[in-house]
Structure 1
């Protein structure tokens, strides 16, 4: 597990490297933490910088070899961006079927992209082998203490801007964000964890009493498609008796994403809209006067899909 001290250390370490994103009021007692405005378009940059800078502090980061990660999505882009900013190489392993647009973005951030295998598990194994053979710093997508602690800094910002916040709502994939937020809040506000029904890693783990593999499907699988909750997040969830764990459907996620765009002009990816869907669907109903902050954690989406096509004349 990580603690609030780990999060505060991450906040100090990453200051000047990440954006302090705003808290936007969207209702009388409702706010959005605008993490979609973070570097590379998602909260992942926070953990990436914390992991890499901490490794450099310990003398583990060889400037000739740099870092290695396995992810064709937000985590890979964040680690590539952080490495470029720090001035070290980044090698990112992705499955061969990864869309060209994601590979192109990784190249744009300066990564050496290696296409390996048909599935993420094969790319992950290749990244671990590369780290062992070359001495690169391995950067997990979510299940490392420094990754989770970096993500938790956004919750520190939430309470700095809104000290009397009652509840923070977050989407869950592998659980790095959840673990960081739980550590940062440390009982100062309640946490609502929201997952798609097609990727219920936390929900399944809590039911089983341990992390278990789940089948992954649905509109948010590109960013919330971990097959198993991370060990750090599961430990944090088990240690939080008042944690609320909810599931939302694909239809509810799509509707929430459309509402974020139409009502607030927030361009959200489906994974980020998952948290908002808990409120718009009625799965989570705040008590009267309850001050709720929803983390909209990413904006890496196709803008053309945000609004319906105009009707033909």
Structure 2
């Protein structure tokens, strides 16, 4: 296992410079911990493809290009979600073929968007596991470079570049709050935060607690997944890299119920006219009234809103 370092994040930052959108921050107001601390929202959902994953996808391909290990068959991934979109986007931008495997049940809107990024979309089976098996077979037979949604040091390091951008915009940052699925974003952000003495709060849905369960068991374990945010935070197991990062000083792991995630998502719309997917509001749910993380008086906190690939129709209450 590769132990992720701050040097990995710095190298990723150099590769993605000018290729990804620098993060924008905005004050949260008094609704989410703001009455005690100074809470900022990191609007990473404004990133290319609508999520932070564009950072890791670009870093992954650029690093392989540097090393001369990009095959003519291009890159492949099994993912109809944010990782697949980011992989297809980065490949298109770098002039590489991308083959994305999805279960046949995948929504047509995702298929269309992937094709819009130039991807060769292959439908295989009815579940993600079958699409993954088809992707693995494609890798074996064609020599295509296999990417991963989160469990790769280049992917995690790319995601970690977000922390230094937030630091540059939020002077005196004490704490960063981040949602956890498979752990790529968390591992990268926590590694960079530790370098600067910044605390990290890892937030998971109570019904999708791969990191929390791994910390309790002392090893990576499989969990059942049942959460409103499972489409993006539904990893059955967290990466070893994320577990290593979570065991270090300065990291706190908390759980939030689905009702808090939905409430935070609605509050972002009602108070800021910000539309995010449930995974994008999961970090903020930890700071909502009654949530598990309460900033200390004067504490400066940044909450990462990580993605916005969602149907906003259920958020619009007024006409």
Q: TM-score w.r.t. structure 1 length?
A: 0.95
Report the 3-state secondary structure (helix = DSSP H, G, I; strand = E; otherwise coil) of the residue aligned with 2:287. helix
Contact 1:55–1:137 (CA<8 Å) still a contact in 2? no
1:165-180 mapped onto 2 (5 Å cutoff): 165-180=173-188
Whether 1:22 and 2:24 are equivalent positions in the alignment is: yes
The match for 1:98 is: 106
Whether 1:6 and 2:15 are equivalent positions in the alignment is: no
Residue by residue over 1:139-165, the C-alpha shift from the partner in whole angstroms, topping out at 9 and shown as x without a partner, is 100000000000000001111222411
Contact 2:23–2:166 (CA<8 Å) still a contact in 1? no
Runs of 4+ in 1 over 3 A off after TM superposition: none
Contact 2:246–2:252 (CA<8 Å) still a contact in 1? no
Whether 1:51 and 2:51 are equivalent positions in the alignment is: no
Contact 2:175–2:200 (CA<8 Å) still a contact in 1? yes
Report the 3-state secondary structure (helix = DSSP H, G, I; strand = E; otherwise coil) of the residue aligned with 1:279. coil
Mark the runs of 5 or more structure 2 residues left unpaired by the alignment: none
Report the 3-state secondary structure (helix = DSSP H, G, I; strand = E; otherwise coil) of the residue aligned with 1:215. coil
Whether 1:296 and 2:305 are equivalent positions in the alignment is: yes
Equivalent of residue 108 in structure 1, options 101, 112, 116: 116
Residue by residue over 1:53-101, the C-alpha shift from the partner in whole angstroms, topping out at 9 and shown as x without a partner, is 1111111112x31100110000000000000000010001112211111
The match for 2:218 is: 209
Contact 2:194–2:250 (CA<8 Å) still a contact in 1? no
Residue by residue over 1:213-266, the C-alpha shift from the partner in whole angstroms, topping out at 9 and shown as x without a partner, is 11111210111011100121112112x133111111111111000001111111
Equivalenced residue count is 308
The match for 1:254 is: 262
Matches of 1:230 and 1:125 in 2, distance apart? 19
Mark the runs of 5 or more structure 1 residues left unpaired by the alignment: none
Whether 1:185 and 2:197 are equivalent positions in the alignment is: no
Whether 1:126 and 2:95 are equivalent positions in the alignment is: no
Contact 2:208–2:223 (CA<8 Å) still a contact in 1? yes
The match for 1:36 is: 45
Q: TM-score w.r.t. structure 2 length?
A: 0.94
Matches of 2:170 and 2:264 in 1, distance apart? 24
Matches of 1:200 and 1:166 in 2, distance apart? 25
Matches of 1:269 and 1:199 in 2, distance apart? 16
Superposed CA RMSD? 1.2
